[in-house]
Structure 1
Amino acid sequence: MKPVHHQSACELLQAQEAGELSAVRITEACLDRIGKLDGSVHAFISVRPERALEQAKSIDER
C-alpha cells in the first residue's frame, strides 16, 4: 500500500471503508507529515492535533 500522503482522498476513503486504514491512522499520518514539512512550507496557521485525533476516533467508533 502506498504511504497515506501519496493517496488521493478517494483512495483513503476506500481503504477506510475496506477496513485497511482507520481514520485515526490517516490523521496520525497527516499530522506526522505536517510536522515534518510545515517548518519549511508554512502552510498552516495552527494545527490542533488533539482535536483532529478526537474527531478521527469519533469517526472510527461509528
Structure 2
Amino acid sequence: MLIPCLALWGYSLVDFSQTDERDMRTFGRDAWLVLLVLGSVVGAVAWLVAGRPRRPDLRRPG
C-alpha cells in the first residue's frame, strides 16, 4: 500500500511542477504546493481532481 501511495504523490508533484500557474484551477501555485507537501496523498488526489488543468475534449470535432 505504501508504494502506490508514494507513486501517486510523486506523480502529482511532478505534474504540479510542470504545470503553468495560469492553467491551475481553484488555487494558486503557493497554496497547491503547501497542500501537496503537507497533505501528501490527500493533497495529491486533490491536485488531480481539482487543481490540474482540464484536458481538451478529444472527442469533439473541430
TM-score, normalised to structure 2, is 0.39
TM-score, normalised to structure 1, is 0.39
